[in-house]
């Protein structure tokens, strides 16, 4: 069977049908292998990776708005020394800048810096809790990307495309590996704050992959999925009887089409939906978590409660076999405005607040995963669309920096306590450009930890064999244990 | 405001065909600044990440199996080149090395990008390993085939049937018998209108004993405006139609409903497809003095956009890329975009071909301020707008007064936010502008508003460290913000929908276009040779006949004429195949937007060519094409399961049975509306906002629910398309994504769909209304009620055994509902819209609502058979 018709077959055969037992896993993942009957039954049936995976789940921590990593991890004494002076032209070579606010004066914030752990990683005073986990982290201090505006770079961070339309990383993973828990989506998006992250679902879209692979946004509150709750007027007993009738009616109709797996899949989908009404709220219900755990994630503090809730939910989803959890950091009140990390002005207040929002919950997550023995099977990625410039903007902020910033990995298969790459002496551009890590490389590396070869993970679309890293990407082996 | 008016006046003149000095509006935004560093980054590190499509790791570009490599099927792994088609490799290929056609539009000397050229050769060499071949089937002229001889002549109602039957007979298979009339009319009404038929329509057709009953049905369906609505929706998929820009800001595009209505009306008036194409690609050139021609170019203007991009040069490239790729895919069924970064791996489309195609769009700017002719909608809008303007006049004047003294500084500050190469154009004196600068500055003016200027006050007053800080500025900023708050209080007074203007494309009154180049690796900062507008050499030897119009380059007219010409080998084939796919769920060419080598070959090439030739011969009449398919025996077949077909033709490629199909997202919602009697059947007008779930977390500005209940019950194609917020009820059923041309509706089956259909308050509300309608129409007899329900939803009566099942459910369910309400706390859902004087037992009625709701969730409703 060729790929096109096989893909159709997969689509038509629906969701959640049979074959979910972990036995009978298919080698190869994706659709590179010839058709297997059990796979055709269900586009979300679990599939084996290309090679043994290091981790079962990824928690993708997107710091929305782009933090200044030279104020968090990337200590630059030279920048402090040169603060207030024009940027020496040699540092600006080869980059396209905007002149607004004047590229010229280097800017240092009021940070104090210390080294932590055996690795001696630098942290600023903005991250007092996370710094305690220095030795769990592998830093990428040579991150680069395309940086014109947030939306383009966020799209690229999540999908590899500069225009909407490509599948997000989580969608590729769900496509390649299926689900490990049929009662929950395998790709979940979490956010705190009242609103969906700006740009919306395009950042967890399935792109050109079938829609079944898109991320499911779990909304803040008790009812995480759209339409999860029964209508107010309908009792559980009532709905159960309705569903029994529905099954009867469908089976009657479907009997005339004995080979029609799509019709049968629809019957099964209702059964799964009914189960999801219990499993999804349970997955995000924190009431049974211990006081200690809640404290660990900062749930007892109004400042950290929202983000901490997302991260504790993330851990619960990891426990339930969800493969990719994308957590977007929410906005907070800065100088009367609702702002994300995007500190063009007021960096001091902005980062002071945002760092406080995420510092304790992330530290809590790492500690909790470790205590529960989950850190080895989970990859935590701290990431953002770009960083911020060494030169100031508006006197009190920093502009966008796509030429050198820090991201980090922790967890399964990660060479903890290392640093890969470096920026120049003022933290503006990657020093040794052969060590630059683009989002494609990050994606390739994450996929690698999930047991997937980014060059072999393929989906045929519009006559092109598409892969997650477009035509780029390399696994950064130095980050891997 | 002021800027908009000025700008608008200019565009109108322009649209009317006036050439000459037309860009004065942008002056407001261009204060030439002495010297801004204009350095072109040559750094090898930076360029790989600075643009789309540039290889970041050279090693992957050459050594690793690229994305185009055929994924496994191991049998082909040893083949020398990834060639999907096994055509005889006899005819030597001569076109690839042919010289460039050089239409005399501009006389710019060729680019002098000598250095990277060597690199390009490496890429070209790596890619150009395809053996020479005869012309691809789809590039060869359409030849009207001879109708094949078949045994079962009685089955042949239209020539289509002969082509299908011949293939079946060759396999020793018989076609299926006719579907019963009720099933047929439900199928045809859904396919042509996108909604279920009424029981009356079903009865009339079933009881019509005249010999031309089917013809009458087809004509009735095709003459309804519902036909145009349904066809428009599928075309809007291809046009990546949206009422918003997309990206993070996702601003409302208030004019795009006009394009949607243009499409509906084009289908309803059976506008010849060839004309439909030309208007959408070049309406501004071809029909400059007709509103319709300008609106039609909304097809090109609908690209996803982010107005806050700081890199206008990159934006221009991305916009041009979107137009080129969309046109290639939609009209020609070609994946031309594959040749943006390197020569096409499968098709003989070179990078040079690709950028030659891009150059047709090189001079295209999007315009949003063309005044629309005044009708009811516009007058209503104007009246409401006037109220808002009157109420806010003072506030806005105060704001203007605050900004006025800072205008120059604010503009300079705003313009400096743009990146180096954008600033080259922005800060160039206007008299020195070339066509490229003109584009950039028009774009700048188009995306700069008063709020952007106010940004200067905000930033300058943010800190005493700012070089422009003063106590006075801080005060002004505070005042300005307070006024903005004040202004916001009047938002409800603004017109809720509609507009006074048209969005489309224009070449701004100039016939000289910016030069186009081949970009190394698709990186717009790495120019190679200059190219001129040309058609892909592999497809045609024809050269574009470009005639500048005096106000436009004429390039798109030339392109449109070629695409829409009777002899274009692709256009008609691609379109008839799309229509075929709508009816049969699978195209004759399964890859509906890829007629290249990597796409599928036609399962029935003679049928495809028959349809294409007939289509052109009939003057590109879309309705005639539909009619012939509707009246064919192939379409009339029963969808009943057949063991022999399942064995001999598992995927039913030969169409020995009629393929059943899950309803599309809009068909589900619209049919439920029809069933409930709530559909607000009105054609066209500004888009509407039905309610969305509370926990979706949409900002009020993104989704302001329509106040008028009737607007909430319009057909789904009138629902506002917001790129960042697809309407959830439709999104879950695989509706088109508006991010790029959407070629084919997927069918996925998920628990999230089940939840939506079962739990949504809106759907339950429709079930309540449907229950009420059933009782009104069938009276109190329960057996009659069940029959009526089935007639409405399934176009048939309930069988005796079904009735038994349903009656049993009702009795049992009545008890469940009664138990639930025993403590008096629980509310129940009862039928709504009942005629006066109906006396019902509320408990039994609530049980009946559940019955109706459940039947509406069943496979028989969600599918058409």
- A54 & A91 share domain: yes
Work out the number of other CB atoms within 10 angstroms of the CB of residue A185. Answer: 29
Q: What pLDDT, on a 0 to 100 scale, did the predictor assign at position B16? A: 36
Interface test with A, best of B71, B304, B811, B865 (most A CBs within 10 A): B71
Give the mean model confidence (pLDDT) for residues A249-262: 88
Q: What pLDDT, on a 0 to 100 scale, did the predictor assign at position B597? A: 86
Q: If pLDDT is split at 50, 70 and 90, which confidence band does A148 have?
A: low
Per the confidence metrics, is the pTM higher than 0.80? Answer: yes
Is residue A236 in a domain? no
Asked if residue B297 has pLDDT above 70, the reply is: yes
Average pLDDT, chain B: 85
A154-173 tens-digit pLDDT: 999 999 988 788 999 999 99
Q: Chain B partners of A396 at a C-beta cutoff of 8 Å?
A: 462-463, 465-466
CA-nearest of B302, B280, B314, B284 to B508 is B284
Cβ contact, residue pair A433, B827, below 8 Å: no
Asked if A109 and A429 count as a contact pair (C-beta separation under 8 A), the reply is no
Q: Report the sign of the C-alpha dihedral through residues A158, A160, A161, A162, in that order.
A: positive
Asked if B856 and B672 count as a contact pair (C-beta separation under 8 A), the reply is yes
Cβ contact, residue pair A201, B724, below 8 Å: yes
Is residue A231 in a domain? no
What is the C-alpha to C-alpha distance for residues A191 and A218, in angstroms, rounded to an integer? Answer: 8
Q: If pLDDT is split at 50, 70 and 90, which confidence band does B118 have?
A: very low
Cβ contact, residue pair B749, A15, below 8 Å: yes
Which residue from B802, B850, B855 is facing A238, i.e. has the nearest CB? B850
- A323 & A369 share domain: yes
| Any A CB within 8 A of B85 CB | no
What is the C-alpha to C-alpha distance for residues B737 and B231, in angstroms, rounded to an integer? Answer: 17
| Any A CB within 8 A of B147 CB | no
- A345 & A408 share domain: yes
CA-nearest of A109, A27, A28 to A74 is A109
Q: What pLDDT, on a 0 to 100 scale, did the predictor assign at position B63? A: 33
| Any B CB within 8 A of A229 CB | yes
Among the residue ranges A295-299, B583-587, B597-601, B844-848, the one predicted with the least confidence is B597-601
Q: Chain A partners of B418 at a C-beta cutoff of 8 Å?
A: 98
If one compares A42 and B165, the residue with the highest pLDDT of the two is B165
Q: Residue B283, SS3?
A: helix
Asked if residue B71 has pLDDT above 90, the reply is: no
Cβ contact, residue pair A5, B817, below 8 Å: no
CATH code for position A425: 3.40.720.10
What is the C-alpha to C-alpha distance for residues B187 and B796, in angstroms, rounded to an integer? Answer: 13
* Structure tokens belonging to residue A29: 């993942």
Cβ contact, residue pair A15, B751, below 8 Å: yes
**What is the interface size between A and B, counted as CB pairs within 8 Å?**
378
Q: What pLDDT, on a 0 to 100 scale, did the predictor assign at position A102? A: 53
Which residue from A196, A440, A471 is facing B66, i.e. has the nearest CB? A471
Asked if residue B100 has pLDDT above 70, the reply is: no
Q: What pLDDT, on a 0 to 100 scale, did the predictor assign at position A177? A: 96
Q: If pLDDT is split at 50, 70 and 90, which confidence band does B29 have?
A: very low
**Residues 6 or more apart whose Cβ sits within 8 Å of residue B706:** B496, B497, B688, B689, B690, B712
- A300 & A421 share domain: yes
- A68 & A9 share domain: no
Q: What pLDDT, on a 0 to 100 scale, did the predictor assign at position A158? A: 96
Asked if residue B35 has pLDDT above 50, the reply is: no
Asked if B347 and B591 count as a contact pair (C-beta separation under 8 A), the reply is no
DSSP H or E segment with residue B13: helix B2-15
Asked if B88 and B128 count as a contact pair (C-beta separation under 8 A), the reply is no
| Any A CB within 8 A of B66 CB | yes
What is the C-alpha to C-alpha distance for residues B547 and B553, in angstroms, rounded to an integer? Answer: 7
Final residue before a domain boundary, out of A230, A257, A284: A284
Q: Which of residues 783-842 of B touch A (CB under 8 A)?
A: 802, 805-806, 809, 812-813, 816-817, 819-820, 826-829
| Any B CB within 8 A of A35 CB | no
- 């079903």: which residue's tokens? B202
Asked if residue B671 has pLDDT above 80, the reply is: yes
Q: Distance, in angstroms, between B417 CA and closest chain A CA?
A: 5
| Any B CB within 8 A of A14 CB | yes
What is the C-alpha to C-alpha distance for residues A155 and A204, in angstroms, rounded to an integer? Answer: 9
What is the C-alpha to C-alpha distance for residues B93 and B731, in angstroms, rounded to an integer? Answer: 46
Among the residue ranges A118-122, A260-264, B200-204, the one predicted with the least confidence is A260-264
Query: Residue B412: which region, alpha, beta or left (left: phi > 0; alpha: psi -120 to 50)?
Result: alpha
Interface test with B, best of A108, A147, A163, A452 (most B CBs within 10 A): A163
Cβ contact, residue pair A4, B600, below 8 Å: yes
Whether ipTM tops 0.90, in short, is: no
Asked if residue A440 has pLDDT above 90, the reply is: yes
| Any B CB within 8 A of A222 CB | no
Is residue A318 in a domain? yes
Asked if residue A463 has pLDDT above 80, the reply is: no
CA geometry: angle B513, B517, B519, nearest 5 deg: 140
CA-nearest of B293, B300, B308, B348 to B324 is B300
Number of domains in chain A: 3
- A28 & A142 share domain: no
Is residue A240 in a domain? no
Query: Residue A454: which region, alpha, beta or left (left: phi > 0; alpha: psi -120 to 50)?
Result: alpha
- A268 & A342 share domain: no
Cβ contact, residue pair A195, B59, below 8 Å: no
CA geometry: angle B398, B404, B407, nearest 5 deg: 140
Q: What pLDDT, on a 0 to 100 scale, did the predictor assign at position A200? A: 76
- CA B427 → CA A99, A372, B24, B431, distances in Å? 13, 60, 15, 12
Which residue in chain B has the smallest CA separation from A219?
A: B695
- A444 & A374 share domain: yes
Cβ contact, residue pair A464, B67, below 8 Å: yes
Q: What pLDDT, on a 0 to 100 scale, did the predictor assign at position B116? A: 33
Asked if residue B638 has pLDDT above 80, the reply is: yes
A302-353 tens-digit pLDDT: 999 999 999 999 999 999 999 999 999 999 988 777 889 999 888 999 999 9
Q: Residue A187, SS3?
A: strand
| Any A CB within 8 A of B58 CB | no
Asked if residue B701 has pLDDT above 90, the reply is: no
B251-262 tens-digit pLDDT: 999 999 999 999
Which residue in chain B has the smallest CA separation from A458?
A: B71
Q: Chain B partners of A151 at a C-beta cutoff of 8 Å?
A: 247-249, 306, 308
| Any B CB within 8 A of A259 CB | yes
DSSP H or E segment with residue A139: strand A137-143
Q: What pLDDT, on a 0 to 100 scale, did the predictor assign at position A336? A: 74
Asked if A138 and A414 count as a contact pair (C-beta separation under 8 A), the reply is yes
Cβ contact, residue pair B858, A273, below 8 Å: no
- A104 & A143 share domain: yes
Q: Chain B partners of A277 at a C-beta cutoff of 8 Å?
A: 755
Q: If pLDDT is split at 50, 70 and 90, which confidence band does A301 have?
A: very high
Which residue from B70, B247, B463 is facing A345, i.e. has the nearest CB? B463
- A180 & A66 share domain: yes
Asked if residue B32 has pLDDT above 50, the reply is: no
Which residue from A32, A246, A397 is facing B858, i.e. has the nearest CB? A246
Is residue A258 in a domain? yes
- A34 & A64 share domain: no
Work out the number of other CB atoms within 10 angstroms of the CB of residue B527. Answer: 18
B748-803 tens-digit pLDDT: 888 999 999 999 999 999 999 999 999 999 999 999 999 999 999 999 999 999 99
Q: If pLDDT is split at 50, 70 and 90, which confidence band does A36 have?
A: very low
Asked if residue A280 has pLDDT above 90, the reply is: yes
- A279 & A292 share domain: no
**Residues 6 or more apart whose Cβ sits within 8 Å of residue B220:** none
Q: What pLDDT, on a 0 to 100 scale, did the predictor assign at position B70? A: 31
DSSP H or E segment with residue B338: none
Asked if residue B9 has pLDDT above 70, the reply is: no
Give the mean model confidence (pLDDT) for residues B378-405: 96
In this structure, chain A runs to a length of 481
If one compares A287 and B81, the residue with the highest pLDDT of the two is A287
Tell me the helices (H) and strands (E) count for chain A, helix number first.
12, 16
| Any B CB within 8 A of A200 CB | yes
Average pLDDT, chain A: 87
Q: Which of residues 841-860 of B touch A (CB under 8 A)?
A: 846, 850-851, 853-855, 857-860
Is residue A235 in a domain? no
What is the domain extent for residue A75?
49-222+286-479
């Amino acid at each position: 069977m060729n790929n096109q018709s096989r893909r159709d077959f997969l689509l038509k055969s629906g969701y959640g049908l049979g074959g979910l037992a972990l036995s009978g896993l298919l080698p190869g993942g994706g659709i590179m292998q010839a058709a297997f009957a059990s796979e055709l039954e269900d586009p979300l049936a679990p599939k084996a990776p290309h090679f043994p995976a290091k981790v079962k789940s990824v928690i993708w921590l997107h710091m929305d708005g782009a933090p200044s990593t030279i104020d968090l991890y990337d200590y630059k004494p030279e920048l402090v020394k040169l603060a207030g002076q024009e940027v020496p032209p040699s540092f600006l070579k080869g980059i396209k800048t905007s002149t607004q606010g004047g590229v010229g004066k280097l800017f240092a914030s009021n940070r104090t810096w210390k080294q932590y752990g055996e690795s001696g990683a630098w942290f600023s005073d903005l991250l007092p809790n996370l710094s305690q986990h220095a030795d769990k982290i592998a830093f990428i201090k040579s991150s680069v990307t395309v940086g014109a505006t947030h939306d383009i770079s966020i799209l690229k961070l999540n999908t590899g495309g500069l225009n909407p339309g490509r599948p997000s990383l989580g969608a590729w993973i769900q496509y390649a590996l299926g689900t490990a828990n049929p009662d929950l989506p395998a790709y979940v998006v979490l956010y705190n704050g009242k609103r969906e992250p700006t740009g919306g679902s395009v950042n967890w879209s399935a792109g050109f992959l079938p829609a079944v692979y898109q991320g499911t946004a779990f909304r803040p509150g008790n009812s995480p999925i759209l339409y999860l709750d029964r209508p107010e007027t309908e009792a559980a007993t009532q709905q159960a009887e309705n569903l029994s009738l529905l099954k009867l009616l469908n089976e009657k109709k479907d009997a005339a089409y004995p080979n029609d797996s799509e019709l049968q899949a629809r019957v099964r989908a209702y059964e799964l939906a009914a189960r999801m009404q219990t499993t999804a709220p349970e997955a995000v219900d924190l009431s049974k978590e211990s006081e200690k755990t809640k404290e660990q994630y900062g749930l007892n503090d109004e400042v950290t409660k929202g983000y901490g809730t997302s991260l504790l939910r993330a851990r619960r989803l990891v426990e339930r076999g969800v493969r990719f959890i994308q957590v977007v950091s929410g906005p907070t009140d800065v100088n009367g405005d609702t702002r994300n990390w995007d500190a063009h002005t007021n960096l001091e207040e902005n980062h002071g607040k945002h760092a406080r929002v995420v510092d304790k919950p992330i530290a809590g997550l790492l500690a909790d995963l470790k205590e529960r023995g989950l850190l080895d099977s989970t990859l935590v990625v701290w990431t953002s669309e770009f960083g911020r410039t060494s030169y100031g903007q508006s006197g009190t902020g920093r502009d966008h920096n796509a030429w050198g910033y820090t991201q980090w990995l922790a967890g399964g298969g990660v060479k903890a306590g290392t640093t890969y790459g470096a920026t120049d002496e003022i933290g503006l551009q990657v020093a040794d450009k052969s060590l630059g890590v683009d989002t494609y490389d990050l994606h390739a590396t994450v996929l690698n930890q999930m047991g997937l070869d980014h060059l072999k993970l393929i989906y045929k679309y519009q006559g092109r064999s598409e892969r997650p890293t477009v035509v780029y990407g390399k696994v950064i082996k130095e980050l891997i244990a | 405001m002021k800027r908009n008016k000025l700008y608008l006046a200019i565009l109108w003149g322009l649209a009317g065909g006036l050439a000459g000095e037309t860009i004065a509006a942008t002056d407001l935004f261009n204060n030439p600044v002495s010297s801004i560093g204009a350095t072109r980054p040559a750094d090898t590190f930076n360029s790989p990440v600075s643009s789309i499509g540039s290889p970041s790791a050279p090693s992957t570009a050459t050594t690793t199996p690229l994305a185009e490599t055929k994924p496994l099927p191991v049998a082909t792994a040893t083949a020398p080149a990834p060639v999907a088609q096994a055509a005889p490799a006899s005819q030597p290929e001569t076109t690839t090395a042919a010289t460039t056609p050089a239409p005399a539009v501009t006389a710019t000397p060729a680019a002098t990008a000598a250095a990277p050229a060597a690199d390009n050769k490496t890429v070209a060499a790596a890619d150009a390993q395809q053996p020479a071949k005869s012309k691809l089937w789809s590039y060869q002229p359409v030849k009207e085939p001879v109708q094949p001889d078949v045994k079962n002549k009685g089955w042949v109602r239209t020539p289509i049937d002969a082509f299908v039957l011949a293939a079946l007979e060759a396999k020793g298979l018989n076609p299926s018998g006719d579907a019963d009339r009720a099933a047929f009319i439900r199928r045809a009404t859904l396919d042509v209108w996108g909604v279920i038929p009424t029981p009356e329509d079903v009865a009339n057709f079933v009881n019509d004993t005249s010999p031309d009953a089917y013809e009458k049905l087809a004509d009735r369906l095709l003459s309804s405006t519902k036909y145009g609505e349904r066809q428009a929706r599928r075309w809007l998929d291809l046009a990546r139609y949206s009422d918003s820009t997309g990206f993070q800001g996702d601003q409302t595009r208030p004019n795009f409903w006009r394009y949607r209505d243009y499409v509906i009306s084009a289908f309803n008036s059976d506008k010849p497809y060839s004309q439909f194409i030309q208007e959408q690609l070049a309406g501004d050139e071809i029909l400059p003095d007709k509103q319709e021609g300008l609106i039609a170019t909304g097809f090109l203007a609908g690209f996803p956009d982010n107005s806050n991009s700081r890199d206008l040069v990159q934006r221009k490239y991305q916009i041009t890329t979107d137009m080129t790729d969309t046109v290639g895919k939609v009209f020609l069924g070609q994946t031309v975009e594959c040749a943006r970064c390197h020569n096409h791996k499968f098709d003989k489309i070179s990078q040079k071909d690709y950028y030659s195609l891009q150059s047709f769009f090189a001079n295209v700017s999007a315009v949003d301020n063309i005044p629309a002719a005044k009708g009811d909608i516009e007058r209503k809008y104007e009246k409401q707008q006037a109220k808002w303007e009157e109420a806010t006049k003072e506030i806005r004047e105060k704001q203007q007064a605050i900004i006025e003294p800072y205008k120059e500084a604010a503009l300079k500050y705003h313009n400096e936010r743009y990146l180096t190469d954008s600033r080259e154009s922005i800060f160039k004196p206007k008299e020195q502008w070339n066509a490229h600068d003109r584009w950039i500055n028009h774009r700048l003016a188009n995306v700069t508003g008063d709020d952007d200027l106010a940004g200067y006050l905000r930033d300058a007053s943010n800190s005493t460290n700012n070089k422009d800080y003063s106590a006075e500025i801080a005060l002004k900023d505070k005042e300005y913000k307070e006024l903005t708050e004040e202004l916001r209080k009047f938002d409800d007074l603004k017109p809720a929908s509609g507009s006074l203007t048209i969005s489309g494309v224009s070449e701004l009154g100039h016939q000289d276009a910016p030069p186009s180049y081949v970009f190394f690796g698709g990186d717009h900062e790495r120019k190679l040779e200059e190219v001129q507008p040309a058609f892909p050499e592999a497809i045609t030897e024809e050269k574009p006949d470009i005639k500048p119009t005096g106000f436009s380059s004429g390039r798109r007219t030339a392109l449109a004429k070629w695409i829409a010409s009777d002899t274009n080998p692709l256009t008609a084939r691609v379109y008839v195949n799309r229509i075929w796919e709508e009816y049969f769920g699978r195209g004759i060419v399964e890859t509906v937007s890829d007629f290249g080598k990597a796409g599928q070959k036609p399962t029935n090439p003679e049928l495809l060519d028959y349809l294409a030739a007939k289509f052109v011969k009939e003057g590109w009449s879309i309705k005639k094409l539909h009619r012939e398919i509707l009246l064919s025996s192939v379409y009339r077949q029963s969808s009943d399961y057949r063991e022999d077909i399942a064995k001999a033709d598992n995927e039913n490629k030969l169409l020995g049975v009629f393929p059943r199909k899950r309803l599309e997202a809009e068909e589900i919602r619209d049919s439920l509306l029809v069933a409930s009697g709530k559909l607000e059947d009105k054609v066209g007008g500004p888009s509407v906002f039905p309610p969305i779930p509370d926990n979706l977390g949409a900002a009020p500005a993104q989704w302001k629910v329509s106040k008028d209940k009737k607007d909430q019950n319009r057909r789904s194609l009138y629902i506002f398309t917001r790129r960042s917020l697809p309407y959830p009820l439709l999104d879950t059923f695989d509706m088109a994504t508006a991010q790029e041309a959407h070629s084919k509706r997927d069918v996925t089956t998920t628990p999230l769909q089940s939840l939506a259909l079962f739990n949504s308050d809106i759907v339950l509300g429709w079930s309540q209304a449907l229950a009420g309608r059933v009782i009104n129409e069938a009276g109190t007899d329960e057996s009659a009620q069940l029959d009526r329900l089935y007639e409405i939803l399934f176009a048939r009566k309930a069988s005796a055994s079904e009735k038994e099942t349903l009656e049993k459910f009702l009795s049992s369910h009545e008890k469940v509902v009664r138990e639930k309400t025993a403590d008096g706390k629980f509310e129940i859902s009862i039928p709504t819209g009942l005629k006066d004087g109906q006396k019902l037992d509320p408990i039994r009625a609530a049980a009946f609502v559940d019955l109706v709701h459940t039947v509406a969730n069943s496979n028989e409703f969600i599918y058409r058979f």
